[in-house]
């Protein structure tokens, strides 16, 4: 960059000096001005012309700098000049002297292959998000350690080619690694379709789609724990297609259809290759004003339950399918003029889970979750939460939880949480959460969590 600046400064200097001394081919007007006696005294018009030339040259310097930045960004591959071609009047005089200087200055020695800078330029965006949680309180049903480096999420994201981009999120626990998500998104499909293939969090409701670090709480709601596979959720390998549906009155309507292998925590189990699961999600969104909006969703998912093994199917003579239904609603308020200081978000999700279960003899041949009941189970759960940002770095919120247990819907857990979040900067977050859970076993768990989250590198923004 510096070399280029020097070269271009030279160009400007040369152009001006050559124009002043020799007065080479010039517009007729300036030549006529020099015809008079006082050729040493430049007229106002001369000055104007000179100024115009300097401006044009400046423009060309800026344009070349821009092209250089573009080239650097694109891995030093020469790009087609997108900058406008110089105006004819600018090109006339300075061109002869300018051209050779630029040509000699521009190419840098290339010692085989792309330079180090070029290879770095094509590196994907890499980010690491740490999630450290300290917990206090007694909870024998869902115990948490006193300190844990809960998750270290490595994100590797880049545009693959003109047709697709790829996003990988590897979730490192303290001892093991899981691929949280790793998928390719086809961005250049015809007719407005967006398709994905790989492993991804399913578009079932809101919380299931969110990574830990964008949740407004330390934990996930009870309904997620009990009915939608807990922290891992419905997260499976498969394909996804989404499309915006034209809708009147500025409503945004989008349908997402997904098909997965059928393995997701305790929700779905694929014991055969065609035990696939499906997810359908319809989203409706509308800006009520510039400052507030509503976001509604309906989801359905279906797949084989863990009871659906050949052995048990053979014994009981029927398939064991899990159906999940969900509706979600969100209201957001954010005054645009003070968007970094104040905001309010209220959200709620209602989820129903239905599954048929064999008699408890089945639990002799497979591992059943504790308290499994026999027969048809219809479990319901919900959470409602609200968060208010009362200063640039401070958020306060609460959540109410209630959920039946999926494998024994007569058991119901309830809970509530208060959350206070502080952001030292955009890249770090300190959060405290007090959680009371009243378990179906008639036990109250009072717990306090302190969470520290911090981000390194360029983590691509998540969808709204």
Partner 1 sequence: MRARLRWLFSLVALCTTVLIPATAEAKKLNVITSLTDLASLTQEVGGDKVEVEALAKGYQDPHFVEPKPSFLLKLRHADLLISVGLDLEIGWLPPLITQSGNSKIQPGAPGYLDASQFAEILEIPQGKLTRAEGDVHPLGNPHYWLDPDNGRRIAKGITAKLSELDPENAGLYQQRERDFEKRLAETELKWAAQMAPYRGRKVVSYHRSWPNFAKHFGLDVVGYIEPRPGIPPTPSHTIELVNLMKREGIKIELIEPYFDLKTPNSIASMTGGKVVQMMPSVGGKPEITDYFKLFDYDIGILMQAFQETK
Q: Taking CB under 8 A as the criterion, which residues in 151-210 touch partner 1? A: 159, 162-163, 165, 185, 187-194
Q: Which of 114, 144, 115 is nearest to 132 (CA)?
A: 144
CB of 402 to partner 1, least distance (A): 29
Query: Binding to partner 1 by residue 293, rule CB under 8 A?
Result: yes
Site for partner 1 in 210-269 (CB under 8 A): 241-246, 250, 252, 254-255, 257-259
CB of 438 to partner 1, least distance (A): 36
The only residue of 9, 117, 214, 340 in contact with partner 1, by rule CB under 8 A = 340
CA distance 147 to 133: 6
CB of 347 to partner 1, least distance (A): 15
Query: Binding to partner 1 by residue 67, rule CB under 8 A?
Result: yes
Q: In this chain, which stretch among 106-114, 145-153, 272-280, 351-359 interacts with partner 1, using CB under 8 A?
A: 272-280
CB of 311 to partner 1, least distance (A): 17
Site for partner 1 in 385-444 (CB under 8 A): 392-393, 425-427
Cβ distance to partner 1 smaller for residue 149 or 253: 253
Residues forming beta bridges with residue 243, ordered by sequence position: 255
Region for residue 435 given its phi and psi (left: phi exceeds 0; alpha: psi -120 to 50; beta: otherwise): beta
Query: Binding to partner 1 by residue 276, rule CB under 8 A?
Result: yes
CA distance 324 to 378: 10
CA distance 379 to 226: 9
* DSSP helix/strand/coil, 103: helix
Strands 321-333 and 343-357: antiparallel
Main-chain dihedrals φ then ψ at residue 76, nearest 5 degrees:
60, 20
Strands 375-391 and 394-405: antiparallel
Cβ distance to partner 1 smaller for residue 255 or 434: 255
CB of 387 to partner 1, least distance (A): 15
Half-sphere exposure (CA, 13 Å, Cβ side) for 29? 9
Cβ distance to partner 1 smaller for residue 105 or 166: 166
The only residue of 105, 154, 278, 374 in contact with partner 1, by rule CB under 8 A = 278
Q: Which residues of 67-101 are buried (b: 16+ CB within 10 A; e: fewer)?
A: beeeeeeeebeeeeeeeeebeeebebbbeebbeeb
Query: Binding to partner 1 by residue 65, rule CB under 8 A?
Result: yes
Site for partner 1 in 1-40 (CB under 8 A): 1
The only residue of 22, 28, 36, 82 in contact with partner 1, by rule CB under 8 A = 82
What is the size of the binding site for partner 1 (CB under 8 A)? 74
CB of 246 to partner 1, least distance (A): 5
CB of 414 to partner 1, least distance (A): 33
Query: Binding to partner 1 by residue 334, rule CB under 8 A?
Result: yes
Region for residue 205 given its phi and psi (left: phi exceeds 0; alpha: psi -120 to 50; beta: otherwise): left
CA 398 to chain centre: 25
Cβ distance to partner 1 smaller for residue 199 or 281: 281
């Amino acid at each position: 960059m510096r070399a280029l600046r020097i070269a271009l400064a030279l160009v400007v200097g040369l152009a001006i000096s050559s124009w002043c001394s020799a007065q080479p081919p010039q517009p007729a007007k300036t030549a006529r001005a020099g015809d008079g006696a006082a050729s040493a005294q430049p007229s106002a018009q001369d000055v104007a012309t000179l100024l115009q030339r300097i401006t044009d040259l400046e423009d060309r310097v800026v344009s070349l700098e821009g092209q250089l930045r573009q080239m650097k960004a694109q891995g030093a591959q020469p790009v087609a000049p997108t900058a406008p071609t110089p105006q004819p009047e600018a090109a006339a005089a300075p061109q002869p002297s300018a051209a050779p200087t630029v040509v000699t200055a521009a190419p840098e020695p290339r010692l085989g292959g792309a330079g180090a800078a070029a290879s770095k330029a094509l590196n994907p965006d890499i980010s690491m998000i740490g999630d450290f949680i300290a917990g206090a309180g007694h909870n024998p049903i869902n115990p948490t350690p006193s300190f844990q480096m809960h998750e270290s999420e490595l994100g590797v994201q880049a545009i693959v080619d003109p047709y697709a981009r790829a996003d990988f999120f590897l979730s490192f626990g303290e001892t093991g690694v899981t691929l949280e998500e790793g998928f390719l998104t086809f961005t250049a499909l015809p007719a407005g379709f967006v398709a994905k293939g790989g492993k991804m969090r399913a578009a079932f409701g809101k919380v299931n789609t969110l990574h830990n670090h964008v949740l407004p709480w330390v934990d996930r709601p009870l309904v997620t724990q009990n009915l939608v596979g807990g922290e891992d959720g419905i997260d499976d390998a498969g394909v996804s297609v989404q499309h915006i549906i034209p809708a009147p009155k500025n409503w945004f309507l989008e349908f997402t259809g997904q098909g997965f292998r059928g393995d997701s925590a305790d929700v779905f189990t694929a014991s055969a290759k065609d035990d696939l699961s499906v997810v359908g999600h319809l989203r409706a969104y509308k800006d009520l004003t510039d400052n507030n909006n509503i976001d509604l969703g309906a989801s359905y998912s279906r797949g084989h339950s863990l009871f659906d093994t050949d052995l048990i199917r053979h014994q009981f003579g029927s398939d064991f399918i899990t159906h999940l239904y969900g509706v979600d609603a969100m209201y957001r308020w954010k005054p645009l003029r003070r968007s970094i200081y104040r905001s309010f978000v209220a959200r709620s999700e209602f989820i129903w889970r239905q599954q048929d279960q064999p008699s408890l003899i089945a639990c002799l041949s497979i591992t059943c979750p504790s308290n499994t009941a026999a027969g048809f189970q219809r479990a319901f759960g919900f959470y409602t939460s609200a968060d208010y940002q009362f200063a640039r770095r401070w958020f306060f919120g609460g959540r109410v939880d209630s959920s039946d247990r999926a494998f024994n819907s007569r058991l119901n857990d309830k809970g509530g949480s208060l959350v206070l979040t502080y952001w030292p900067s955009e890249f770090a977050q300190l959060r405290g959460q007090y959680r009371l859970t009243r378990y179906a076993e008639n036990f109250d768990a009072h717990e306090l969590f302190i969470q520290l989250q911090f981000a390194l590198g360029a983590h691509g923004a998540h969808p709204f």
